Amino acid sequence: MSTALPDSVTAAEGEGGLPVLRVATALATGEVYLHGAHVTAWTPAGADPVLWVSNASRFVPGEAIRGGVPICFPWFGAGREPGLAPPPHGFARLAPWRLVAAEEDDGGAVTLTLELTDADVADVPAAQAWPHAFTATYTVTFGRELTLALTVENTGEGEISYEEALHTYLAVADARTTTVQGLDGATYLDKAPGGAPDHVTQRGDVAFTAETDRVYGSTGTVVVVDESAGRRIGIDKDGSANTVVWNPWVDKAAAMPDYGDDEWPSMVCVETANALDAAISLAPGARHTMTARYAVTR
């Protein structure tokens, strides 16, 4: 790795032998795998871990890490067009990203900048379904808050359209006593089994009582209220038209080979996204940034 690292950042061999960057400052600790530019940990000083990773996750090339913050790009789920999936959620979380900068500011916050281009994924089979020229830049800032910003630039000669999500897995004491505030009145597409075929309007806070898989039309801040742990996780965002809320519950958890059967109460996903009808279109030379900021309070 040729990029100079501040003393607060260490390059190491992580799970499965995959390269990982570990951050340790007075403000927080955290880590990012170059595989998928995957943030797998953020713990503010004096707090419990905020991100969740499955004990059954597979840390191997060609497979996504289960937990943390996978990057969904350039499609979400199966994608809007035939022939994109498998794999679900695109190729970015399967690809090797490059570290291009690492800095610590005067206040002790550490920012890592990673990059992925179409040339980097030329040998990734999933990328053949979306053969467009692009540069994706991902900045991850570890401090008292965690800030994630994904910028995509169209470096080709024609317009491109893509979906994206920061598929954040949050650690909670018990999903059954956890709620999500800030989505009252928003409409959502219910993708869980038995969900309504048309958009539904949220009434009150979101509670978890069964498999939950919802794509909300929402640009505002949400708060995850982890009642059993006595903490709140605020998620503020820019450049995002959707908030996705997900928990697999019992049956889906048991069906996923990289997810422990009994792990579903310990996490909820609240994702910052532009998906489905909110996909991003970029003219040649244009760029778009989607940002998510996470903060913990009691």
- 278: helix, strand or coil: helix
* Cα angle 40-210-217, degrees, rounded to a multiple of 5: 70
Per-residue pLDDT of the chain (298 residues), as tens digits, is: 578 999 999 999 999 999 999 999 999 999 999 999 999 999 999 999 999 999 999 999 999 999 999 999 999 999 998 888 889 999 999 999 999 999 999 999 999 999 999 999 998 888 999 999 999 999 999 999 999 999 999 999 999 999 999 999 999 999 999 999 999 999 999 999 998 888 999 999 999 999 999 999 999 999 999 999 999 999 999 999 999 999 999 999 999 999 999 999 999 999 999 999 999 999 999 999 999 999 999 8
Please state, as a whole number, how many other Cβ atoms lie within 10 Å of the Cβ of residue 149: 19
If you ran DSSP here, which 8-state letter would residue 91 be given? S
Contact 294, 269 (CB under 8 A): no
Q: Which helix (H) or strand (E) holds 110?
A: strand 110-117
**Per the structure block, which two tokens stand in for 285?**
């030379």
**CA neighbours closer than 13 Å in the CB half-sphere of residue 19:** 13
Burial class from Cβ neighbours inside 10 Å (0-12, 13-18, 19+) for residue 236 reads: middle
Contact 164, 74 (CB under 8 A): yes
Distance between CA 147 and CA 238 in Å, rounded?
Answer: 11
- Sequence-distant (≥ 6) Cβ neighbours of residue 223 within 8 angstroms: 180, 181, 182, 232, 233, 234, 235
- Assign domain 9-297 to its CATH architecture: Distorted Sandwich (2.70)
- 53: helix, strand or coil: strand
Distance between CA 30 and CA 22 in Å, rounded?
Answer: 6
Contact 266, 249 (CB under 8 A): no
pLDDT at 1: 59
Characterize the bridge pairing of strands 242-247 and 212-217: antiparallel
pLDDT at 2: 74
Contact 96, 60 (CB under 8 A): no
pLDDT at 197: 83
Contact 188, 242 (CB under 8 A): no
pLDDT at 196: 84
Distance between CA 159 and CA 161 in Å, rounded?
Answer: 7
> What residue segments make up the domains of the chain, in order of their start?
9-297
If you ran DSSP here, which 8-state letter would residue 69 be given? B
Contact 180, 270 (CB under 8 A): yes
Strand-pair partners of 28: 44
**Per the structure block, which two tokens stand in for 112?**
């890592």
Enzyme catalytic residues: 167, 271
